[in-house]
Amino acid sequence: MDVKEAIEQRRAYRSFETVGITKELIYDLAECAQITASCFSNQPWQYVFVYEKEMLQKMHSVLSSGNEWAQKASLIIAALGKKEDDCVIHDRIYYQFDIGMATSAMILRATELGLVAHPIAGYSPKKTREILHIPDNIDVIALVIVGKKSNKIKPDLSVKQIEEEKNRPERKKIKDFVFHNKYGGKINDKN
């Protein structure tokens, strides 16, 4: 799978079946984060990989309402970091940008390996901290819910979520977020 294909294949699916998580997979994903670019090569990212049944079950309690589908995760990756570990240039704060880049690399690699890797913001950072023993000064930036896509759509998803299993949610038009030469400058038509 080439990069463009992985970008296109990646979807935030919510219907999972169980898949085995191996040490090789953990290292494979971790290596993708490891070599990601970061400001001054500060590498501000930290991750907790959760995949034993008992720990996954404990993590059910952190999920916000509407994210019950994530109880079917085979692996949950907590993406962590703190401002002090990366560039702060006047009002520009880079740690979340760099951690997002590294996490995106892992998500695309998981996609290439035939997995779904779905980032979520709908969780309790407080409960996540308690369960995973994360110090208070470290931000829980996102959880990535990893599993194998099920061909059967999970019946208890909302109407909107069911629709999103079938079709990618609509995106802004390119002309509305890509500009030419100046802010608001119209880009040429594709054809």
Q: 21, 56 in Cβ contact below 8 A?
A: no
Closer residue to ligand FMN (CB): 12 or 138:
12
Cβ proximity to ligand FMN: between 11 and 83 the closer is 11
How many CB atoms neighbour CB 134 within 10 A? 17
Helix (H, G, I), strand (E, B) or coil at 39: helix
- To which residue do tokens 């949610």 refer? 169
| CB nearer ligand FMN, residue 22 or residue 114 | 114
Q: CB of 22: closest distance to ligand FMN in angstroms?
A: 25
CB of 43 to ligand FMN, least distance (A): 21
Provide the binding-site residues for ligand FMN, judged by CB under 6 A: 11-12, 67, 119-122, 142, 168-169
Nearest approach in angstroms of CB 16 to ligand FMN is 12
User: Which has the closest alpha carbon to 137: 89, 189, 179, 85?
Assistant: 85
In the chain the first and final C-alpha atoms are separated, in Å, by 27
Closest contact distance (angstroms) between CB of 104 and ligand FMN is: 9
Residue closest to ligand FMN (Cβ):
122
Q: Cβ of residue 178: shortest distance to ligand FMN, in angstroms? A: 18
Nearer Cβ to ligand FMN (160/185): 160
The smaller minimum CB distance to ligand FMN, of residues 167 and 181, is found at 167
What is the rounded distance in angstroms from the CA atom of residue 188 to the CA atom of residue 161? Answer: 35
- 119: closest CA among 12, 18, 34? 12
Label residue 131 exposed, middle or buried (CB < 10 Å: 0-12, 13-18, 19+): middle
